[in-house]
Amino acid sequence: MTSRDRVLRRIRDALGPARGTPVPVPRDYRRHLGAEYARADVIALFTERIAAHGTPVRHVGAGGLPTALAAALWAREAARIAVPAGLPAGWLAELEGVAVVPDGPGVDPAAPDGPDAVVTGCAAAVAETGTIVLDGGRGQGRRALTLCPRLHVCVVHADQIAGTVAEAAARLPPGRPQTWLTGPAVARGPARERSPHGAAALEVLVVEDWL
Amino acid sequence: MTAAPRPRLRFADAARPALADTALRRDLRDGAAAVRARRAAAVAETPDWAELRAAGRALKDRTLLNLDACLERLERAVTAAGGTVHWAVGAAEAARTVARLAGGAAVAMPAAPVLEEIGAADALAAAGSTVHRTGADAEFPAVRTAVTGVDVMVAETGAMVLLEWAGDARRCLAVPDALITVAGIEQVVPDRADLEVLLRSLPRSAGERLTPAVSVWTGVAPGDGPAAFHLVLVDNGRTRALADEIGRAALRCVGCAACLDVCPVYERTGPGPYGAPPGGPIGAVRVPLQRGVGSAATASLPFASTLCGACADVCPVEIDIPEVLVHLRGEVVDARRGRPVPTPELAVMRAAAWTMGDPQRYEAALRGGVRWARLLSRGGRIRRLPGRFGAWTDARDLPAPPARSFRVWWRDRAGAR
Ligand code: SF4
């Protein structure tokens, strides 16, 4: 008998007549923010929550994004950046004196001689928790790309911001590798102090079309 | 079945060094207080906390009562997504499977309770693998194989969900070529929709709105991360716990550690004396449930509690840990009752039953006892009981009894009327 058969047999023996008992799951928890949250409030909540982690966050109009990106990279003295395939070319239109490396298997953003920064979009964001979600879709790249320890500038379109974790989860196509990032990593000391580590140096640009 | 790290000492003996270590006790106390405050804040801003707990409890019960079907469904989904599923009855078998899959290659291995439980590090080292234990301060090693735990597995989609604080597992999922993930069979949930419950209740119960990095992966993703994915499903006594109708509830645990941070015993002893991670209230029920109460070490764990109930109040999946503890205490006592020579406790309990069964005998004993006890006391406290009873006063003082017992006082009072 294989171990698989033995484990399954043990489970069936352990449950006896209780096996297969249906258990209804009460799903009367909140899936959405309260009705008092207008769209602008959801965006404001996202900004507030992500800033609460100490992550810099700025709002720009679609036309202002290239300048804002160039400014963010310039402020951190980023001379060489890596970007995923499919990043809208216009985003990088204002860069000056910055070498842009396309992501690929040979690029190791975590290496000491890796790029100074990476720029990506995202798959969704969550207002309630101040979270950005990457799933390797267009303009996001491989998971390894966002492990750049120096700087990750993430562009979030306002309409990508979901109110709650449940709303964001429902928007994401299943099957893709997802990374949900909520504030910097936490050292596991007794006091669990937040300390920047790994790809913790995140900056968020929220693009609002009406700005 | 053999589990690698076994508690050999009774809890009270194993706890002695930790209790004597004042620096450790201070760290534990400060750490627990900080996490309690964060958790209280995270829960306070969750108006549907009660509904989330009820849903979490129900979805885990639904999993457990359908565990065989759930795991078969998970296996199909993981296989369809390009992963390979392995099964292990015991801890040693699980550890050997991990070591065989690693094939002597150096591995990165972030800490996870199930990896400690099966003794993965020792098995890997014995098979020639260098084990890099990643941590927030360590450089990420240049290795091609990673070994991780997981928090939740979704049977419907085959998705693995890993919540972490430090960000090392994130690297393990992105950089190496091969990924070996070890999970307890109870860590599965049936549906995608179950994640919308646990992704809220688990992190908040651990003191955050959402854990800093949550990784979700399904089999292999072409061109992104490991090209080979192995999932090792471990029983190691979980089916023994499942067979216990009351103890079964302990398998709902999602590992948030909230019960540890509110436990007055854990706050003083830390994880060591429980003999296996994670320790604390949930460890005190899971270890004897999974291994039985045959050894003095596992049999002592259900007694490592004051039954204050704080753990049951915080648990995001509503495990009534004190109820399981009391049930296991009964099991320990029953297991010993059959012994030819009664244990000292049983002898004392039998003598007490004889004495208390008759009012005259009881009052005579009380009068005698009060006299002896007052002779032992200093300043109203008894620091050490004589003889075999001394062990009970090792960790606590006993107040000296009053000169007159309640019964005598009541009778005198009634007579004075
Ligand atoms: S038993 Fe403890 S660790 Fe497990 S879910 Fe409940 S509170 Fe969290």
Q: Which residues contact B174 (CB under 8 A, 6 or more apart)?
A: A142, A143, A144, A147, B224, B225
Residue B134 CB: number of other CB atoms within 10 A?
A: 22
Given an 8 Å threshold on Cβ–Cβ distance, is B185 in contact with A24? Answer: no
User: What's the pLDDT at A211?
Assistant: 63
CB A185 within 8 A of CB A134: no
Q: What is the mean pLDDT of residues B313-322?
A: 97
Q: How far is the CA of B282 from the centre of ligand 1 (A)?
A: 6
Question: In 3D, which of B263, B271, B346 has the Cα closest to residue B307?
Answer: B263
User: What's the pLDDT at A198?
Assistant: 45
User: What's the pLDDT at B340?
Assistant: 64
- The residue to mutate among B202, B259, B318, having the most atoms of ligand 1 within 8 angstroms of its beta carbon, is B259
Residue nearest to atom 2 of ligand 1 (CA): B259
Q: Is the pLDDT of residue B407 over 80?
A: no
Q: What is the mean pLDDT of chain B?
A: 87
Residue nearest to atom 6 of ligand 1 (CA): B315
Contact list in A for residue B55 (CB cut-off 8 A) is 25-29
- DSSP codes, B22-60: HHHHHHHHHHHHHHHHHHHHHHHT-TTHHHHHHHHHHHH
Distance from CA of B312 to the nearest CA of A (A): 20
Q: Domains in chain A, start-ordered, CATH in brackets?
A: 32-207 (3.40.50.10420)
CB A184 within 8 A of CB A53: yes
pLDDT digits (tens, 9 = 90+) for B142-190: 789 999 999 999 999 999 999 998 888 888 999 899 999 999 999 999 9
What single-letter amino acid sits at B235?
Answer: D
B251 lines ligand 1 (CB under 6 A): no
Round to whole Å and give the CA distance between B275 and B263: 17
Q: What is the mean pLDDT of residues B341-354?
A: 66
B249 lines ligand 1 (CB under 6 A): no
User: What's the pLDDT at A186?
Assistant: 67
pLDDT digits (tens, 9 = 90+) for B77-100: 999 999 999 999 999 999 999 999
Structure tokens at B198: 């646990």
Residue nearest to atom 7 of ligand 1 (CA): B315
Structure tokens at B345: 């406790």
Q: Is the pLDDT of residue B374 over 70?
A: no
Nearest chain A Cα to B66, which residue? A20
B257 lines ligand 1 (CB under 6 A): yes
Q: Compare B77 and B381 and report the one with higher pLDDT.
A: B77
pLDDT digits (tens, 9 = 90+) for B131-149: 998 766 556 677 899 999 9
Round to whole Å and give the CA distance between B2 and A134: 41
Cis peptide before B278 (omega within 30 of 0): yes
Q: How confident is the model at residue B272 (pLDDT cuts 50, 70, 90)?
A: confident
Structure tokens at B210: 């959402």
State the closest ligand 1 atom to the C-alpha of B250, by its place in the atom list counted from 1. 1
ipTM of the complex: 0.94
Q: Would you give per-residue pLDDT tens digits along chain A (211 residues)? A: 899 999 999 999 999 999 999 999 999 999 999 889 999 999 999 999 999 988 999 999 989 999 999 999 999 999 999 999 999 989 999 999 999 999 987 788 888 888 999 999 999 999 999 999 999 999 999 999 988 888 999 999 999 999 999 999 999 998 999 999 998 876 654 444 444 444 458 999 999 986 6
Q: Compare A171 and B342 and report the one with higher pLDDT.
A: A171
CB A191 within 8 A of CB A43: no
Select from A7, A21, A176 the Cβ nearest to the Cβ of B221. Answer: A176
Contact list in B for residue A130 (CB cut-off 8 A) is 209
Q: What is the mean pLDDT of residues B266-274?
A: 87
Q: How far is the CA of B269 from the centre of ligand 1 (A)?
A: 18
Round to whole Å and give the CA distance between B42 and B209: 6
Q: Does B84 touch chain A (CB under 8 A)?
A: no
Q: Which residues contact A187 (CB under 8 A, 6 or more apart)?
A: A193, A194, A195, A197, B136, B165, B166
User: What's the pLDDT at A112?
Assistant: 81
Question: In 3D, which of B78, B156, B157, B160 has the Cα closest to residue B146?
Answer: B160
Specify the DSSP element, H or E, that contains B252: none
Q: Domains in chain B, start-ordered, CATH in brackets?
A: 1-45+252-338 (no CATH), 46-236 (3.40.50.10420), 344-416 (no CATH)
Round to whole Å and give the CA distance between B267 and B306: 12
- The residue to mutate among B36, B189, B253, having the most atoms of ligand 1 within 8 angstroms of its beta carbon, is B253
* 10-39 in chain B: CB under 8 A from chain A: 27-28, 30-31, 34-35, 38
Lowest mean pLDDT, pick from A99-113, B72-86, B321-335, B340-354:
B340-354
User: What's the pLDDT at B349?
Assistant: 65
Select from B61, B87, B194 the Cβ nearest to the Cβ of A7. Answer: B87
B319 lines ligand 1 (CB under 6 A): yes
Lowest mean pLDDT, pick from B272-286, B340-354, B395-409:
B340-354
User: What's the pLDDT at B391?
Assistant: 59
Q: Compare B383 and B13 and report the one with higher pLDDT.
A: B13
User: What's the pLDDT at B344?
Assistant: 61
Q: What is the mean pLDDT of residues B288-293?
A: 93
Residue nearest to atom 4 of ligand 1 (CA): B253
Token pair 């909140």 is found at: A30
Q: Is the pLDDT of residue B4 over 50?
A: no
User: What's the pLDDT at A185?
Assistant: 74
What residues form DSSP beta bridges with A202? A152
Round to whole Å and give the CA distance between B45 and B26: 29
Q: How confident is the model at residue B2 (pLDDT cuts 50, 70, 90)?
A: very low
Contact list in A for residue B170 (CB cut-off 8 A) is 143, 147, 179, 198-199
| CA-CA-CA-CA torsion sign (A187, B215, A206, A165) | negative
Contact list in A for residue B34 (CB cut-off 8 A) is 190-192
Q: What's the pTM value of the predicted model, to 2 decimals?
A: 0.86
